[in-house]
Chains A and B, each alone.
Chain A
């Protein structure tokens, strides 16, 4: 049988059952989901507040720069070594640390870049600060906020693959690492294929979510989902997607 045939056969044979591919994929998604959820919970409140009052641009720049420079694998093993534990705890700590910077920066930039004239118009219509935030600023910032969440999610899902190395075996990354050490190319390839499908699936899911939560009036028909231009006034560039 061809190599690819062997790989598909391997996936079929190991699909279900205890610690099968399906189990490990769910474990992978669970780890990613909780990390992202915790990151959102601790990042959004301060980022939204700072963006709304337009203070703390320097914090946003620094968070963005530090976040970009952190190698994901290094963070993962540092979390493992410094907590002296294996499995979910260090994995989640590391993944949260990776997810915070893009979410924080994009939320801050999205909110602080809302046109001042729009804010004034909303004020003139008698909106309170809270209404301004909910009905004007957040909807306008939503594409950038979602882009930040997507960047974070892609990084988290990719890095969760490596969590096998610090004792979180509930990931298809298991097949890659075990296969490599056994010299079993079929197993390695099968694991990689599943990981790719998971990553693309999460990206698609979030792209769909973005379509749902972004106001129709703001939807661009095409073009990149992130902004490229550095805004000279705030000097905080929105986070760009980064592979992990």
Chain B
């Protein structure tokens, strides 16, 4: 079906793919842009929230509760509820970003929490200022957990962007919808397969970064 005799009815009609290379690349680029900007924005919001939660523990409970409720809301509903009051692109970024915040806050807090008290004390004893201690000691130790959070956030957003296509802002999701509407398998398959591949690629790439950034974590040495 994939190779054999190839035509408009095939699952993937390679001739169409060749002729629409630019369109596919544009969708892919938009998908990546939406993903990266949402996760970067999410990190910028999550980091101060996490530090706040570290400083005042009671803040953490409410953050988690709000996040849990937010996560229960299907993304399609979230997108359409917001496009009533703002532009498409803003709504898409806002929803995608807010879905990353909880993942990121939780992992930053968990990472900082995992720093042993002795280590912090040693750093203080060596005369580290709180900021220096955070940057030079705590963040490196917390890094694997924080990167795991970023990985999860990226993969999650890649999936959600395809849903945003239904409201008209969806990278590869646009191809999927195009295929659904015209009952034409090729763009549907290309959009779906590329979004799965994109998620898997980012997942593995960030796993690689995680490994490279924390050589001391490797086992069996």
Contact = CB atoms under 8 A, between A and B. Distances in A.
Nearest to A194: B77
In this complex, the member of B11, B61, B77, B188 whose beta carbon has the largest number of chain A beta carbons within 10 angstroms is B77
Contacts of A71: 158-160, 162, 192, 195-196, 199
Nearest to A154: B72
A223 interface: yes
B46 to A, nearest CB: 14
A176 B75 contact: no
B196 A74 contact: yes
Contacts of B84: 3, 185, 188-189
A244 interface: yes
Contacts of A192: 76-78, 80-81
Interface string B112-156: 001000000000000000000000000000000100100010011
Interface in A54-91: 65, 68-75, 77-78, 81-82
Contacts of B74: 157-159, 161, 195-196, 199, 243-244
B216 to A, nearest CB: 13
Given A69-B196, A73-B162, A180-B167, A229 B110 contact: yes
Q: Could you say which interface size class chain B belongs to?
A: 35 or more
A242 B69 contact: no
A64 B191 CA distance: 23
Contacts, number: 152
Interface stretch (B13-21, B22-30, B99-107): B99-107
A68 B155 contact: yes
Given A65-B203, A70-B196, A224-B106, A77 B188 contact: yes
Interface of B: 11, 61, 64, 68-78, 80-81, 84, 99, 103, 106-107, 109-110, 114, 145, 148, 152, 155-156, 158-160, 162-163, 165-167, 173, 176-177, 179-180, 185, 188-189, 191-193, 195-196, 199-200, 203
